[in-house]
Structure 1
Amino acid sequence: MLAATAILMLDIAVVNTALPTLQADLDTDLHMLKWVLDAYTLALASVVLTAGSLADRYGRRKLFALGVTVFTASSAAAAASGSIELLIAARAVQGIGAALMFAVSLALLSHAFRTPQERTGAFAAYGATIGASFALGPFVGGLLTEVAGWEWVFLVNVPIGIVVLVICLTRLAESRDPNPPKIDIPGQITLVGGLFALVYGLLNAAEEGWGSSPVVAALAAAAGLLAAFIYIEATSSAPMVPLGMFRNPRFAGAQLAAMAISAGLFSTFIYIMIFLQDVKGYSPMEAGLVLVPGTMVNLFCAAGTAKLAGKVQPGVLIAGGLGLASLGMVISALLISPDMSWLELQIGFIVSMAGTGLFNPAVSAVALDVPERVAGLATGIHDTARQAGVAVGIAALGTLVSTGDIAGSLQDVMYAGAAIGAVGAFAALFLFRPRPGTPVGALAPEAA
């Protein structure tokens, strides 16, 4: 589980560093580079909920093995891509494989480790793997790109995937839900269509303008399909997203906050990498190293936040973390220039990642503070919120980017990202406001 989680999380982080080199080798532009990231995150966000339902019905080990196979084969296809179009297609398939893997990983761990003590250790290792993958991702991506070529950002998954598949088939026990829910096909179709139309419209708005017919049509289709998705979920007898869960303001606030930090902060990384390599002239490995101090601060702050549980309201940590992330982006925006120093690059990013370290443990705890019978569903909803936030954020912030002035564009991107984070922080303060009789540190009541 840890090896599989590491490669699917690394594939979100490592690709950012390789993008400028990939752009030159495949003779493409920034518009298509955005799709290299969004094809993966969109597929992951759109499919992860249905993947969990399929696993409950047909077997979690079986779906996990299928996910590893799809992910490994599409990684090889991505490395062999001779054009940007083939790479984007391979990335979309890779995202589907990642969704199958991610949707069942926690369920498989719960089945393998039966006692509370065993599960605590397993889940701690699982969380540490996610954190370490993000921390090492930029450097690993830069190292592979510089030493062996951008293809190895994807090829490195192949031997790991083969080993994971062998372990899965020989060691993992099968498990399934004896009373699985129905597959919500109308909900799946409208969710995929709505998210794709939204991202397509935003990405093309950067190239063609907001008033162009394709952009207007795509955004109108997105509004209609996402509205239809909400209607289907509200009226379905077996919805993939039970809207009743969002009656709990803290559960709803956790998803909103997750989308805010993903769209406001994490979606800026692609533009930071382009600035570092195209404007500052850093090599891929040097660009990756720029992000390492901040990601290590993130890990230390996340570990320290665990000691605050029961002493500080989770809403304070979530809103405070988002506030720090926004402050860091404002600092970065004020300092960005073609001749800024390495130290100036660190200041804002470290502040933002310290805020992320406060944010992540608290928001995950609230998002999963639900009855055990819907824990898997809550995990899927939370991951959908995060990945959809990244996909939409990359597209939306991309409308502010001009290839003629990357430094000035990055300033605008940082200010916009800070605004998204600030809105999320105020929303969190409102939705997580203490209720009469609620003890300090108490999490959300059980979602219906």
Structure 2
Amino acid sequence: MTHDNGPATSPGSTEGATRTPGYAGTLTAACGAVFVAQVATALPASLNGLLQQDLSTHGSQLTWITAAFMIAVVCFEFTFGVLGDLFGRRKLVVGGTLLVAAGSTVAALAPTVQVLWIGAALNGLGAGAMFPGSLTAITAVTRTSRQRAHAVAVWSGFLSAGAAVSPLLGGMFAKIGSWRGSFWVLVGLALISAVLTQLLATESKAPAGRKLDIPGQITFAAGLILVLYGAVEGPESGWTTLPVMLAFMLGACFLAGFVVVELGAPSPIFDLALFRNRAFTVSSVVAVIGMIAFLGACFATSMWLGPLQHQDPIHVAIPFLLLQGPAFLLIPVVSRLLHRVAAAWLLTSGFALMAVGCLLCTRLDVTDPSLGPFVAPALLIGIGFALTVSSVTAVALNSVPPQQAGMASATTNMLRDLGFALGPVVVGAVALSKAGAAFSAKLAGADLPAEHLVGLGHVRSVMACLLDQSCR
């Protein structure tokens, strides 16, 4: 995978031409927007333990906080890409930040976990607009593949910075007040980002041949929501229960219908012809797989230190600095590597480091509350992520012509965020399924009160009971 297919330059421009007007302001606004969007994405992870205690959550209820956010992001990123092309990327980002402000307000005031799901979903809609809108905005103000790679590296670094800062934000407010205060800070950050974007970013559009694809949006959203519902509820309700099986079957039908609709649509939200490009296809596949691994590791770390060990939120934040911080600190290094090293080598090296880090995590003792053993695995995963996240994005954008940048940006972000959405779901499904089997095997000798034995054949009851006991 190479960067030979960079964006076309304007007449008379050259590879070394000066940047287009508005480059610095647009890049600043885009980085601020993606920072806020990623803070919104990662914030609940540092609060899982507190949410479990304050809102009396159990089992999949915690998973649904993250899932509600990511489903909203993934389901509508395609349509947001079209809206940005039609009406302007700056307007799209500003609208997204206002949605995050609204969602964070709902979350801060949430009396129950169900209301918190609504706030998370609103935040997800906002982030779903901000991710492709900000990325396409900087694409529109870069002239060469070299400029674009640098801008993408900076953008990706601020994406990770938001994820690194978010646990600290949650931990700080948990120490001085309540987890709700961290959402109020997110409201303020979103409003500041909206103002900066309006003042600094250059507006850009690409409306030619683009229009809304309502059938495609409906079939894609319905299919994805049903499949993810089955994946989240399967470990607790049972994989063979009627609701779970119907969710998978209907979801598969809707997704198959989505493919049929897109093949015949005059203006598809997801142009399957993009996958004729080998570089784009490979980067898309590895984006999904890699992000499943990365966010799965982040989610497992959060659940390990939060609901299981009930560690101080500030302590929970430390591993996340190691997981997310390298992508921000290594911006200059990754930017240079994107010009000098083949993307295939960067991706391979990054995923290898992540694999080693995850393998080391499997050897940790869940009963050991010390954070020292987390340092090496978290750093390896974080450095690996730093090498992959920018490489995947740069390859995808540089492998398509400029007029397809909006769709490529939306598709790349959707696939990355699909991996993010599936990470907690996959990890949660594996963990809860194994936990259910272990609990069932040892239930007879658990010596629990009679009232706790009723219905403990289901994983949900077992998890609720044990989590309740561990909180006392």
**TM-score above 0.5, yes or no:** yes
In 1, Cα distance between equivalents of 2:164 and 2:372: 19
Instruction: Check if 1:143 corresponds to 2:159.
Output: no
Aligned to 1:384: 414
Instruction: Check if 1:330 corresponds to 2:359.
Output: yes
For residue 271 of structure 2, what is the amino acid of its counterpart? P
Aligned to 1:286: 315
Shift of 1:27: 1.2
Aligned to 1:24: 53
Assess if the C-alpha contact under 8 Å between 1:57 and 1:180 holds in 2.
no
Assess if the C-alpha contact under 8 Å between 2:152 and 2:394 holds in 1.
no
Shift of 1:290: 2.7
- Pair member with larger Rg: 2
For residue 40 of structure 2, what is the amino acid of its counterpart? D
Shift of 1:237: 1.8
Assess if the C-alpha contact under 8 Å between 1:190 and 1:228 holds in 2.
yes
In 2, Cα distance between equivalents of 1:297 and 1:164: 23
Q: How does 1:36-435 map to 2 (within 5 A)?
A: 36-109=65-138, 125-169=154-198, 172=201, 174-300=203-329, 303-309=332-338, 311-339=340-368, 341-369=370-398, 370-402=400-432
In 1, Cα distance between equivalents of 2:181 and 2:50: 12
Assess if the C-alpha contact under 8 Å between 1:43 and 1:93 holds in 2.
yes
1:286/1:83 CA distance change after superposition, 3 Å: same
Shift of 1:178: 4.7
Shift of 1:124: 5.3
Instruction: Provide, for residues 165-198 of structure 1, a one-character-per-residue CA deviation record: whole Å limited to 9, x for no partner.
Output: 3444555554433525121111111111111011
Assess if the C-alpha contact under 8 Å between 2:215 and 2:261 holds in 1.
yes
Assess if the C-alpha contact under 8 Å between 1:279 and 1:338 holds in 2.
no
TM-score, normalised via structure 1 length = 0.83
Shift of 1:121: 7.1
1:327/1:84 CA distance change after superposition, 3 Å: same
In 2, Cα distance between equivalents of 1:272 and 1:118: 36
In 1, Cα distance between equivalents of 2:48 and 2:308: 14
Shift of 1:303: 4.1
In 1, Cα distance between equivalents of 2:402 and 2:200: 26
Shift of 1:123: 5.2
1:281/1:179 CA distance change after superposition, 3 Å: closer
1:336/1:380 CA distance change after superposition, 3 Å: farther
Assess if the C-alpha contact under 8 Å between 1:56 and 1:180 holds in 2.
no
1:141/1:231 CA distance change after superposition, 3 Å: same
Assess if the C-alpha contact under 8 Å between 2:74 and 2:418 holds in 1.
yes
In 2, Cα distance between equivalents of 1:184 and 1:26: 39
Percent sequence identity over matched residues? Answer: 27
Aligned to 2:468: none
1:250/1:70 CA distance change after superposition, 3 Å: same
Q: Among 34, 50, 65, which residue is 1:5 paired with?
A: 34
Instruction: Provide, for residues 107-153 of structure 1, a one-character-per-residue CA deviation record: whole Å limited to 9, x for no partner.
Output: 44456778999878765543332232223222222222332311123
In 2, Cα distance between equivalents of 1:48 and 1:15: 21
For residue 377 of structure 1, what is the amino acid of its counterpart? M
Assess if the C-alpha contact under 8 Å between 1:198 and 1:392 holds in 2.
no
Unaligned 5+ runs, structure 2? 1-28, 440-472
1:287/1:246 CA distance change after superposition, 3 Å: same
Shift of 1:106: 3.2
In 2, Cα distance between equivalents of 1:404 and 1:27: 23
Assess if the C-alpha contact under 8 Å between 1:14 and 1:142 holds in 2.
no
Unaligned 5+ runs, structure 1? 410-448
Instruction: Provide, for residues 379-414 of structure 1, a one-character-per-residue CA deviation record: whole Å limited to 9, x for no partner.
Output: 1111101111121232222122249969x99xxxxx
The structure showing larger relative contact order (alpha-carbon pairs under 8 Å, at least 6 residues apart) is 2
In 2, Cα distance between equivalents of 1:322 and 1:110: 26
For residue 158 of structure 2, what is the amino acid of its counterpart? T
Shift of 1:273: 1.4
For residue 345 of structure 2, what is the amino acid of its counterpart? V
Q: What count of residue pairs does the alignment treat as equivalent? A: 408
Instruction: Provide, for residues 235-285 of structure 1, a one-character-per-residue CA deviation record: whole Å limited to 9, x for no partner.
Output: 222111111111222211111111111112212322311211344342011
Instruction: Provide, for residues 205-264 of structure 1, a one-character-per-residue CA deviation record: whole Å limited to 9, x for no partner.
Output: 011111111111001111111111112122222111111111222211111111111112
Assess if the C-alpha contact under 8 Å between 1:318 and 1:362 holds in 2.
yes
